[in-house]
Amino acid sequence: MLALSLEAPFAVCRTFTAGWYRPSAIFLTPSAAYGLLLNLAGVETRLREADDGHPGTVPATLMRAGLPAVRLALGVPAAAEHPRVATLFQQLHNYPVGSSGNERAKTTFGNKYNITPVRRELLVDLRAVVVMDGNPDLEAAVRRGLSGQGDPDRYGLPFVGDNAFLPDRIDVLADTPPAFWFEALAADDAELRPRTARLTTWIDRADLSRTRSALYAPTEKSTPVVPAAAWTAITPP
């Protein structure tokens, strides 16, 4: 088992994406944590359109087959606050489809003449404990990556949900610290607990209907022992 402390001034965990509204989950999702761990381990997850095995029918970067399975537990350190969800408003400039807005084309002299306000949410002051278990090889690769002994030819930096949001610190912990662990809620739970949120456990870029998610809520009290309900099995198809 490997426990990590993650600190990031900004992060994002998209629950879905629309053209004008791009929300974020209220905490680090298991799918985002899994992607970060594979990044640290130097495991390539992307299957590009030019790669063998890509169907070519979807103009998107897909997930490679044969990715490692692991189980994860996520929590807010007992001494930290829950991250805040903030909102950025931006202007999206584009060329509209069809004849919409054509009357503005001449005044922009060939530039993009359709302007739409866009709302993007992000997490501020993310502090998280990430515990992984059940895959010693992946754990060893993450340790090597954090110690600077990863593949020297692999490019890029670890990021949290968006390649503009880099973590401040990722530290290996000697023991699992007290934390408010996000537990998966059972289907027969009578009522929602405080901070209940839907977190994604796997994202399928080719078929969003196959994206997996579950309702989670943090434990009422902090504990160094990871509850059984806080473990999420990541089993790539």
| CATH, residue 199 | 3.30.70
Question: Which backbone phi and psi does 202 adopt, to 5 degrees?
Answer: -160, 135
Residue 118, helix vs strand vs coil: strand
Q: Is residue 105 included in any domain, yes or no?
A: no
- Residue 203's pLDDT band (cuts 50, 70, 90): confident
Residue position matching structure tokens 């009522």: 191
Q: Do you know the residue count of the chain?
A: 237
Residue 107, helix vs strand vs coil: helix
**Cα-based distances in Å from 138 to 2, 29, 37, 226:** 10, 19, 8, 20
Q: What residues contact residue 23 under an 8 Å CB cut-off, 6+ apart?
A: 14, 15, 16, 121
Nearest CA among 9, 72, 117 for reference residue 234: 72
- In one-letter notation, the amino acid at residue 130 is V
Q: Is residue 115 included in any domain, yes or no?
A: no
Residue position matching structure tokens 């754990």: 139
Q: Is the pTM of this model over 0.85?
A: yes
Cα–Cα distance measured from residue 153 to residue 231, given in angstroms and rounded to the nearest whole number: 33
Cα–Cα distance measured from residue 41 to residue 39, given in angstroms and rounded to the nearest whole number: 5
pLDDT beyond 90 at 98:
no
CB contact at 8 A, 58 and 51: no
Q: Is residue 60 included in any domain, yes or no?
A: yes
Please indicate whether residue 137 or residue 148 has the higher confidence score (pLDDT).
137
Helix axes 136-146, 30-41, angle to 10 degrees: 70
Q: Is residue 98 included in any domain, yes or no?
A: no
- Residue 190's pLDDT band (cuts 50, 70, 90): low
Residue 156 has a pLDDT of: 76
Nearest CA among 6, 41, 17 for reference residue 200: 17
Least confident segment among 8-17, 27-36, 92-101, 220-229: 92-101
Residue 59 has a pLDDT of: 67
Residue 57 has a pLDDT of: 73
Q: Is residue 107 included in any domain, yes or no?
A: no
- Residue 217's pLDDT band (cuts 50, 70, 90): very high
Could you read off the pLDDT of 20-68 as tens digits, one per residue? 888 999 999 999 999 999 999 999 887 776 777 777 776 677 778 889 9
CB contact at 8 A, 130 and 6: yes
Total domains in the fold of the chain: 1
Q: Is residue 193 included in any domain, yes or no?
A: yes
Residue position matching structure tokens 């169907």: 55
Cα–Cα distance measured from residue 78 to residue 179, given in angstroms and rounded to the nearest whole number: 5
For residue 42, give its domain range.
Answer: 2-16+26-84+122-234
Residue 91, helix vs strand vs coil: strand
- Residue 123's pLDDT band (cuts 50, 70, 90): very high
Q: Is residue 103 included in any domain, yes or no?
A: no
Residue 141, helix vs strand vs coil: helix
Residue position matching structure tokens 């306000």: 117
Determine the average pLDDT of the residues in 151-171: 87
Q: Is residue 91 included in any domain, yes or no?
A: no
- In one-letter notation, the amino acid at residue 205 is R
Residue 105 has a pLDDT of: 77
CB contact at 8 A, 146 and 40: yes
